[in-house]
Amino acid sequence: MSRRRHYDEDDVRVRPGKGSRPRTRIRPAHKGAVAGFVVAVDRGRYTCLIGHDGAVPGDGDRPAGRPEPVLVVAMKARELGRKGIVVGDRVALVGDVSGQPDTLARVVRVEERRSVLLRSADDTEDGVERPVVANADQLVIVTALADPPPRPRMIDRLLVAAFDADIEPLLCLTKADLAPADDLVSHYEPLGVPYVVVAKGGPLDALRERLTDRISVLVGHSGVGKSTLVNALVPHARRAVSHVNAVTGRGRHTSTSAVALELPEGGWIIDTPGVRGFGLAHVSVETVLASFPDLIETTVDCPKGCTHLGDDCALDRLVAEGHAEPARLESLRRLLTSREGTSDDD
């Protein structure tokens, strides 16, 4: 017969209490945080450029005697939650900001963005917005005139993205040694989009002038020569260069992530991976119309629910009466059409 066991206080496991201090939503102010500029993002680690006096790109010319900036690797603080951090963001850092090997700082705050280039998810029905870069002044749309041939629909979509982000667009037409630029230039002339034309081994003075003292993001198809341009503009960049597939006419993705690079003449370029589609589900018709001040006032006379693509649109009457250029209306409708779908076919 088994003997009955006697229990004492040592046999009782008491779960510790949660304490009497109530939880609070108040977060530390981090007043001593150092300002930084995100130049690269890789698997939850953020490479940030900081100066000993908190200087970041865009603060003006570097005064004589100011210490050279250092690169710091950081992780995102828990209090930021799911808030995304992208290249070009201005952030506040705490912790070890020495930049020494095997050190890690924390990003505790993302400053308000002056601009953000957004891209809707291509593979979702709700068109969830995905930030690409932040605080850019200029979107450089790099397209080849041949090998691979230009894809106007993709250019149109990138122009819409630039208008939506309130970023100035710039067409950079490469490989002018293989084909003339006249046809493509005339195609976008009604939009008044500035452009530069470059050839293999040719001078880049016109492009450098457009990039100096600005933060520019370079976007384009694989194989258009984007990485070649970056290597010529920033000799130490060493971006991988690919060749165009002779069968498909497409290039291979060589830039796998966005990275910000400082130009010797002043300013920054943000190189992005090659794209084959650019989702625009987040962009409204009104946003596109706002880029056409000479046409937008007439749309108040359009019937309710007008798509401005035809069918009794008041813009047709405006052109017929000679108050607007037909090419402008054609360009507007081309951009409105580009919002639908993500195909880059001509």
Phi then psi for residue 53, to 5 deg, are: -105, 15
Would you state the pLDDT for residue 165? 92
Which secondary-structure segment (H or E) carries 38? strand 34-42
Chain-centre distance for alpha carbon 40: 12
Q: Encode pLDDT of 40-96 as tens digits.
A: 999 899 999 997 444 556 555 555 555 678 999 999 999 898 888 999 999 999 999
Q: Which amino acid is at 306?
A: C
Mean pLDDT of 313-321: 94
Q: Encode pLDDT of 89-122 as tens digits.
A: 999 999 999 999 999 999 999 999 999 998 876 6
Radius of gyration of the chain from its Cα atoms, rounded to whole angstroms: 26
Where are any strands of DSSP class E within 51-96? Answer: 70-76, 90-95
Would you state the pLDDT for residue 112? 95
Phi then psi for residue 284, to 5 deg, are: -85, 160
Q: Is 82 helix (H, G, I), strand (E, B) or coil?
A: coil
Contact 270, 134 (CB under 8 A): no
Bond before 63 cis per omega within 30 degrees: no
Q: Encode pLDDT of 156-205 as tens digits.
A: 989 999 999 999 999 999 999 999 999 999 999 999 999 999 998 899 99
Number of residues assigned to the chain: 346
Residue 250 has pLDDT above 90, yes or no: no
Alpha-carbon gap, residue 226 to 198, rounded angstroms: 11
Alpha-carbon gap, residue 36 to 97, rounded angstroms: 10
Contact 167, 136 (CB under 8 A): yes
Q: Is 298 helix (H, G, I), strand (E, B) or coil?
A: helix
Q: Encode pLDDT of 274-304 as tens digits.
A: 776 777 878 888 989 988 989 999 999 999 9
Q: Encode pLDDT of 26-47 as tens digits.
A: 667 788 899 999 999 998 999 9
